[in-house]
Chains A and B, each alone.
Chain A
Amino acid sequence: MHIQDLALRFNNLLQHEGYEFDCQPIPGCPDVLQITVTNLDPLPIFLTITEQQTLCIAYLWTEEQIIEEHRLSLLESLLELNVPMPLSSFAKSGDKYLIFGALSIHSSFDDIIHEIITLHENALEATTALQTFLK
């Protein structure tokens, strides 16, 4: 699915299983969408489509928000949580820690919605679980 088609689908969607969405393209980067589930705690999910996959990303925290002496424990915990966490994985880009879900480019719109909601829940749950390592 093309990113513009996806944006249209989101904007035409009133609600899905009780969730409401706001979808905005990122200015200067038309192939990235910022999607917010408006009736959940505010956390934008960024969606982009590469040649092989649809990537949904949420930012967790930055390097400077980590308590230095707990950094190693935090990294170990991230690795340990990576497999049990449904549909999402932890990653790092620059100084930002993130959680992402990668879907096939042939995924349905419903699959993408499911991924966004799961990613939102996983992001807040994981951050709550790892809060002790953060400032």
Chain B
Amino acid sequence: MNVMQKLLTALRSSARELGDAIIDANSTRIFEQEITEAEQHLQEAKVELTTLLAKQLQSEDELQKVQLDIKKHENYVKEALKNQNESLALEIAEKIAALESEHNQVKQTVVDYQSNTNQLKVLIQKTERQLRDYQRQLAMVKTTEKVQQTTSTISANFSAGNSKLITAKETLDRIAKQQEEEKYKQQAADQLANESEDKQLEKKLTEAGIIKNNRAEDILEKIKQSQQND
């Protein structure tokens, strides 16, 4: 099970309360310890690789020297044969044989060093990849925990303080409510203004004698007219 699957299982667990550790602290510590140890091993492996590479270079250098020495002695043999000094040529040839034996040994050492350094390089690359993966996984677990803890602390803090954690939805609802209140206030203000304008006009019309404001007199006049008509 990879770390994401583990996180999902832990997060979906109905038994789990918000704020509980996703992965218990002990496991996280063990994981961190593993990372620290892997980092140490990696550092040691890099030191070892440096030493091996130095030795490989040294052996390659030695191999080249032996090759040059063989070449030089081969020329000596040719020179001795040219001077018809067979016994000296034989002596030099024995030296060449010894040098060739040394050459084979050094060559084998170089091959061994090359093989070891290659293996170590592969191992280091693999460990580095694994370390990066461990660090990524640990970061994922820690971030999930941090967000859970943060949410839990914020929620607890707001409920303890008798205030509410404001969500964007609530902010929008409040804005909509304020806008609605403003709209009604504006409507009421408009209505009041209209009423006030109507009253002022009525007052002016009454003062000019265009409309009469005395309702009782109007009613009495109406009844009198109705009696006359009867």
Interface residues of A (CB under 8 A from B): 26-29, 32, 34, 41-44, 46, 48, 50-53, 55, 57-62, 65, 91, 93-94, 96, 98-99, 123-124, 126-128, 131, 134
Contact = CB atoms under 8 A, between A and B. Distances in A.
The 7 closest A-B pairs by CB, nearest first: A61-B169, A29-B153, A127-B168, A94-B18, A123-B168, A93-B151, A59-B167
Contacts of A131: 169, 172
Nearest to B136: A52
9 contacts: A28-B153, A41-B171, A55-B146, A59-B168, A60-B167, A60-B169, A61-B167, A93-B147, A124-B172
A62 B157 contact: no
B168 A50 contact: no
Given A58-B168, A61-B168, A128-B172, A46 B157 contact: no
B150 A29 contact: yes
A13 B118 CA distance: 56
Contacts of B68: none
B148 A127 contact: no
A28 B157 contact: yes
Contacts of A46: 150, 154
A48 B146 contact: yes
Nearest to B170: A61
A62 B167 contact: yes
The A contact surface, by secondary structure, is strand
B166 A32 contact: no
Given A26-B153, A43-B166, A96-B151, A50 B143 contact: yes
A58 B170 CA distance: 12
Given A29-B154, A41-B175, A52-B143, A60 B148 contact: no
B55 interface: no
Contacts of A28: 153, 156-157
A94 B143 contact: no
Given A44-B166, A128-B172, A51 B139 contact: yes
Nearest to B153: A29
Contacts of A52: 139, 143
A47 to B, nearest CB: 10
Given A29-B154, A42-B166, 11 more contacts: A26-B154, A28-B153, A29-B153, A34-B154, A42-B171, A48-B146, A50-B143, A59-B167, A96-B155, A124-B171, A127-B172
Interface string B208-227: 00000000000000000000
Contacts of B90: none
Given A28-B157, A50-B143, A65 B169 contact: yes
B169 A134 contact: yes
A70 to B, nearest CB: 14
Nearest to A122: B168
B165 interface: yes
Contacts of A48: 146, 150
A48 B150 CA distance: 8
B73 interface: no
Contacts of B175: 41
Contact of B148 (A93, A126, A134): A93
A129 B136 CA distance: 34
A65 B153 CA distance: 21
